[in-house]
Amino acid sequence: MSGFFSGRTLPAAALAVLTAVVLAFAARTGPAGLPPPEDLAALGPEAAEAALLGLPRGDVLRAWGEPDGMLSGFFGDIYSLEDGTRIIVYYDTEPMNQGTAGSRAVPVEHVLISKSD
């Protein structure tokens, strides 16, 4: 049995380290599979909300960049698309109110897609 593992320990360790580095980098760049705003708008409101619900605002900002506008009265970001569609992402402010999260850590609570006529 020891002959089987002979010479395989070092490549396996190197693969484990490489995997850890890739996973650490992926965690810093945002969620894998978050569609661009244009694709999300095409999915429809229910699918759009399912794709974003619960994600931290920081992940949305990393994936989509800074919003085109912000809401007044509610905490949310507005993304305007070239075809006139607007995606409004509402965030749950309760963690901020409790002092347990900053503005980039609050989760998505609701997504609204409005298409211009």
| Together in a domain, 74 and 20 | no
Instruction: Let me know whether 22 and 47 are in one domain.
Output: no
Residues 39 and 75 in one domain: yes
pTM, two decimals, is 0.71
Q: Does the pLDDT at position 70 exceed 80?
A: yes
Question: How many domains in the chain?
Answer: 2
The burial class, CB within 10 Å (0-12 / 13-18 / 19+), for 9 is exposed
Kindly state whether residues 106 and 73 are assigned to the same domain.
yes
Percent of the chain with pLDDT over 90: 64
> Does residue 92 surpass a pLDDT of 90?
yes
Closest CA to 113 of 91, 85, 72: 85
Q: Which residue has the higher pLDDT, 45 or 88?
A: 88
Q: Which domain holds residue 9?
A: 1-30
